[in-house]
Amino acid sequence: MKPLTQAQAEILAAVPRLGTDEVPVAEALYRVIAEPAVAAGPVPPFPNSAMDGYAVRSADLTSVPVTLPVNEDVAAGSVPTMDVTPGTVTRIMTGAPMPGGADAVVPVEETESIDRSTVTIRASVGEGTHVRPAGGDVAPGDIVVDAGVRLTARHVAALGGAGITPVVSKVPTVALMSTGDEVVEPDTADLAPGMIRDTNRVLLRGMLTDLGVPFVDLGIIGDDTQELRAAYVHASEVGDIIVSTGGVSMGDFDFVKAILADTGSVDFWRVAMQPGKPFAFGNVSGTPLFGLPGNPVSTFVSFEQFVRPAILSMMGAAKLFRPRIAGVMGEDVQTNDEKEVFLRVLLAEDSNGSFVAVRSGGQGSNILSALAAAEAFAVVPVGVGSLSAGDPVTLEMFTWTENRGIDG
């Protein structure tokens, strides 16, 4: 069996790195930025007020309360027409440019204005108080987002604030298909004898959508030589990578191998992982092919361990793998010491704040209910074979979205 990390390394070495595009910030979400985004100018672009209040010369407030004349009002979006000269102030709104001469802002709460032409200030302020200096967020030449980051909403906001049009990687289009004579569309109401509903394509479509990657869904392909060959060739034409499920277990090897013999190459691997041991990797006319096992949980684990990192690598991402955190096993469990085992687990927090993992249900590679309920993998390395309640365990966080209600 091939060690998992070796299989991952071979795949990452084999997939191409895609080219780049310049895209508007509004279209950059989930793209991987290809070059460091360097700020041309300062953010904020000008010194401005952090509060609604009065722009002052702090030296005028050594003795308070003090009543001073108001020069003018400056709102966000307008510019001051007068400097703040000694013994005067300017009424200013949050985000409005600081007038020349002023070095601080007194919040409106610290003042009293009987008529609009004067104000009584009750508190003194130090120089710079409530002033946001030009470049206080980003200075010219600063790197706003470094190369290799997959852009989230927060990143695109930071790029937008700095006026940067990012250079991002192209995104691969994934051609996907399920294979198997027994597989029918998932919304089939009455299953004919021996038929099962296709769970793998909706699973793959969902995971690709989460990744921000487009796909072409080629549907369900029967276990027929001509049909399969045509589907793989078509997939190689419409996709930058091909992801299929099924047909990679021992009995099917020769079949698919023969199909792909004249159009590409495919290697069948037995990867030391569970679920997901049978796996095929190769290419059809140069288009990388990921042949995932047919069992849905194996499909999920294989996608997570091979396809997702490969797609991120093609896009030039610096970080390819899910976050891993330290946790504690909450129950005794026997695994397989020859394989890296990905238990599907639910997490609870103990009184020390540690995450305690218990299996979310049956661990068979067909048990989708337990996968659906799970929050993480508990990763049990090769050579371990069993864990006891209280043992440390590594958790791989494949999903960690909402996990608290209004009660905390």
- For Mg ion, the binding residues (CB under 5 A) are 180, 246-247, 294
Does 167 contact ligand AMP by CB under 6 A? no
Q: Which of 111, 245, 313, 360 binds ligand AMP (CB under 6 A)?
A: 245
- Triad 375, 376, 382: Cα angle to 5°: 155
Nearest distance in Å: CB 51, ligand AMP: 59
- Report H helices in 70-182: 153-161
Which residue's entry shows tokens 């030039």?
316
Nearest distance in Å: CB 270, Mg ion: 17
Asked if 386 contacts 335 with a C-beta cutoff of 8 angstroms, the reply is yes
Does 221 contact ligand AMP by CB under 6 A? no
Largest CA distance in the chain: 92
- The residues pairing with 327 across neighbouring beta strands, listed in sequence order, are 393
Residue with smallest beta-carbon separation from ligand AMP: 294
Distance CA 346, CA 328 (A): 12
Q: Which of 88, 169, 287, 295 binds ligand AMP (CB under 6 A)?
A: 295
Q: Which of 247, 275, 288, 327 binds ligand AMP (CB under 6 A)?
A: 247
Q: Which of 183, 241, 273, 329 binds ligand AMP (CB under 6 A)?
A: 183
Does 291 contact ligand AMP by CB under 6 A? no
Does 182 contact ligand AMP by CB under 6 A? yes
When the beta carbons of 138 and 231 are compared against Mg ion, the nearer one is 231
Nearest distance in Å: CB 247, Mg ion: 5
Distance CA 299, CA 243 (A): 10
Does 1 contact ligand AMP by CB under 6 A? no
Selection from Mg ion, ligand AMP, none that 176 binds (CB < 5 to 8 A by kind) is none
Does 53 contact ligand AMP by CB under 6 A? no
Does 180 contact ligand AMP by CB under 6 A? yes
Select from 227-235, 246-254, 321-329, 383-391 the region that touches ligand AMP (CB under 6 A): 246-254
Select from 67-75, 161-169, 290-298, 301-309 the region that touches ligand AMP (CB under 6 A): 290-298
Q: What is the identity of the amino acid at 304?
A: E
Asked if 240 contacts 287 with a C-beta cutoff of 8 angstroms, the reply is yes
- Pick the closest to residue 35 from 208, 153, 159 (CA basis): 159
- Residue 172 has a CB neighbour count (10 Å cut-off) of 22
Residue 348 backbone phi and psi in degrees, to 5: -130, 155
How many residues appear in the chain?
408
